[in-house]
Structure 1
Amino acid sequence: MKYKRILLKLSGEALMGDKQYGIDAVRLEQYVNEIKEVKDLGVEIAIVIGGGNIFRGVQAESSGIDRVQGDYMGMLATVINAMALQSALEKTGMYTRLMSGIKIEEVCEPFIKRRAVRHLEKGRIVIFGAGIGNPYFTTDSTASLRAIEMEADVVLKGTRVDGVYTADPEKDTTATKYPQISFQEVYEKGLNVMDMTAFTLCQENNLPIIVFDMNKSGNLKAIVAGEEVGTLIS
């Protein structure tokens, strides 16, 4: 395998499938099967999942909720998704650990770097919930930070689009895909890959990002095997 230890970033919205909100059991099962394929190859896997299918902190202000309070609500939403993913993974016989940026000891271990690394070394899938435990930081930032702390080989950002394009391919039919692009080019072209904090963390620590379509079966396995899937940012 090209990558021995990966951090997989999934959006909360991806779990909705065709629903308006919540978790689609079919989509969840598909993701679990993709992850199991990679796990069976001996790859160490850490996962960060968003909470946008349940609640978004940045949208809270428009409804009169304090931004900090809204962000904490969003963190709790990520824990709900993480628990659902953990349960689904364990049903297939995989061993997992759920670690949280905020203390919810009845359902999650508190995040401790050395313990998280040890879980990975023992072959457990580690899911990071509740972001980094602070408001004003997105789950993209969490993914970048945890990947650096875990010394992951790559951040795999699973989306519903098969890479980075010159424009939004869902809105602009003339948009063309970049098979590979540098961090500097993404800056200069103003492409929307991750929020700036997350992106800068990866750039400063020479941590490559691959943006790919998680909904296409086999993509995750192909990436860890070294095939050119999605867009590589390095």
Structure 2
Amino acid sequence: MSADHRFGVPVVEFTAVGHTYMGPPSVEALQECDLRIEQGEFVTVVGPSGSGKSTLLNIIGLLDRSTTGTYLLDGIDTHAASESRRAALRSKRIGFVFQSFHLLAHRSAMENVELAMVYQRVPRRDRRIRAESVLRRVGLSHRLHSLPTQLSGGERQRVAIARALVARPSLLLCDEPTGNLDSRTADSVLGLLRELHTEGMTVVVITHDAHVAAQGQRTITIRDGILMEQAPRQVLS
């Protein structure tokens, strides 16, 4: 599922990365930190509201530029890159999954996934083939032509995951992916994320839920903008 990598190069590598929102007053949302996420890891990030989780997600996802330090994505220096280059890297190498799905209501599951490839200039026929393949992969072969309003919450999140995967990214970055789901549906989506990780996808999940956090190989806690890491562990089955 994941993109080609150079052997041994981490997907995410922070060196003294920090972020301050300028005031007045200025707010140090992320204190200078080092972070390394290897290819094929499943990492969860937890912390209370206002701890800096969103800032960390935005920097990893190339939505914001850090004010200090260096961020290498697949070995590429993103801090020095132009905004157009960062946008291209974000589109090709990072798949986003959000709590609120962000699907177009009047487009089918297939069309929602296909739209993710339009700006990459993927030919129409190839878009259809790839969209159908990835929707089948997430268990929605019977829902290809259904509208989001005809889908359950779990099915909508699976469409969102398919849309994130269709560009064959290096990193699947999930922000509270089970936040709008009941516990049974949430477990189904978490099971899919574990399967994708088993197949080699690098997965980072931002969450406030201890059960979700426990799915990762390792958990990073952020509090008052400071990253702290727990010891690695086995992924729960």
Q: Which structure has more helix as a fraction of its residues? A: 1
Instruction: Tell me if both proteins adopt one fold, taking TM over 0.5 as the criterion.
Output: no
Range of TM-score over shorter length: 0.3 to 0.5
Which structure has more RCO (C-alpha within 8 Å, separation ≥ 6)?
A: 2
Task: Tell me the TM-score normalised to structure 2 length.
Answer: 0.34
Task: Tell me the TM-score normalised to structure 1 length.
Answer: 0.34
